[in-house]
Amino acid sequence: MIDAANAAALWWAVIASGLYHGLNPGMGWPLAVSAALMERRASALPGALAALGIGHFLAMAAILAPFALMATLIAWERELRVGAACLVIGMGLFLAVRRKHPRFLARVPPTRLALWSFLAATAHGAGLMLLPVYLGLCALPGEGSGEAAALMSSTVGAALLVALAHTAAMMAAGGALASGVYYWLGLKFLSRSWFNLDLLWALSLVAVGAFGLHGALVH
């Protein structure tokens, strides 16, 4: 169980990771700008951003949902949190060694932004970044009582809420950056802004995994 202060910190971590994903060009905001520029109409920008957001949300939910179901196994709560943290750390170390964008993403048509966003977030382990935070939130006081069906409903609802809050922050950050590029900064900034965040992304996964592992062992 965790107290209200730790719960608030975990929710801020959900929002911060969403902002981080939104600012990361690898999560697709330059594609939204490109879509609007190719269609030559500003109204295409929010539509493209919405498609990216839908794909990102589904990727987050797909990762969190199975753990939401397993969270009903209260007796194994610590083991689940330790296992999830180790999984995140392992993914971070793997990406740190193999710093290449998946080639199959280049074969996804630019008109299918929701599909591209889902695959990109999954391939880069974006959903895994939320796992230790989400499982920490599942340890809130009062979560460990009640019937299994009620507890399962609670944990699945929490997973969807975490995915939604994270995606909202991601869209706010990515949307603000994409709008700035489209309306004011232009293509020159877009061509220079595709900086390589692969190593930073991998290290952030390791850091989040270590944070989750510490929380699982201490609380």
Q: What DSSP string runs through 101-122?
A: --GGGGGS-TT-HHHHHHHHHH
- pLDDT computed for residue 196 by the predictor: 57
Chunked mean pLDDT (size 10), the chain, 219 residues: 75 92 87 88 92 95 83 66 86 80 65 88 86 78 47 75 95 94 78 62 85 76
Q: Which pLDDT score is estimated for 75?
A: 57
Q: Which residue in the block uniquely carries the two structure tokens 């979560």?
A: 143
pLDDT of residue 34: 87
Amino acid 103: pLDDT: 65
3-state secondary structure of 24: coil
The tokens describing 60, both together, are: 């987050």
- Give the residue among 173, 186, 195, 171 at the shortest CA–CA distance from 33: 186
Residue spans per domain, the chain:
4-218
